[in-house]
Amino acid sequence: MSDDIVMRHPTLPDHQEIEVPRDSMPHYTSAGWQLVPQAELDERAALAAAAAAEAAKAAEEPSALEDQEHAEPEPADANAAAADEPDSAEPADTPTKRPARRAKAANKDEEN
């Protein structure tokens, strides 16, 4: 058995829980905290494991839709490809993001 238990308070939302050492349970129960039933914790663990397995399976098998998204469409003619490109008034090498901020010095005396 684990040394920690999961508790929730009736005045808080159900998803807001705490994990505390089993030895401090009397302290929390006197403050109104209630032990989350083990069956509920087991059900959550099973759902999380199923979701993780499904995500792993999806990551291993790329879908046909993803293959189509990554494939470059072939234009019917050269004019159609040129029409799809937006006209840009700015040169291509103009940065669109602002430069990163410099970190402030911890102490002004160190700068001088």
63 lies in some domain = yes
Is the pLDDT higher at 64 or at 74? 74
Q: Which residue has the higher pLDDT, 32 or 74?
A: 32
Q: For the segment 28-43, what is each residue's pLDDT rounded down to a tens digit? A: 999 999 999 999 999 9
* Per-residue confidence band for 76, with pLDDT thresholds at 50, 70 and 90: low
Residue 106 in domain: no
Helix (H) or strand (E) holding 109: helix 108-111
Chain segment 92-108, per-residue pLDDT in tens: 666 666 666 776 666 65
Does the residue 72 lie in any domain?
Answer: no
Q: Is residue 112 part of a domain?
A: no
Q: Which residue has the higher pLDDT, 48 or 100?
A: 48
pLDDT of 51 strictly over 90: yes
Contacts of 67-70 spanning 24+ positions with Cβ under 8 A: none
| Predicted confidence (pLDDT) at residue 58 exceeds the cutoff of 60 | yes
Kindly state whether residue 89 falls inside one of the protein's structural domains. Answer: no
Query: Would residue 97 count as lying in a domain?
Result: no
- The answer to whether residue 74 is domain-embedded is no
- Domain enclosing residue 38, as ranges: 4-67
Is 20 a member of any domain?
Answer: yes
Rounded distance between C-alpha atoms, residue 76 and residue 26, angstroms: 75
Overall number of domains in the chain: 1
Please report which residue ranges of 34-104 form alpha helices under DSSP H. 38-60, 64-70, 78-84
What is the rounded average pLDDT for all residues in the chain? 77
pLDDT at site 61: 78
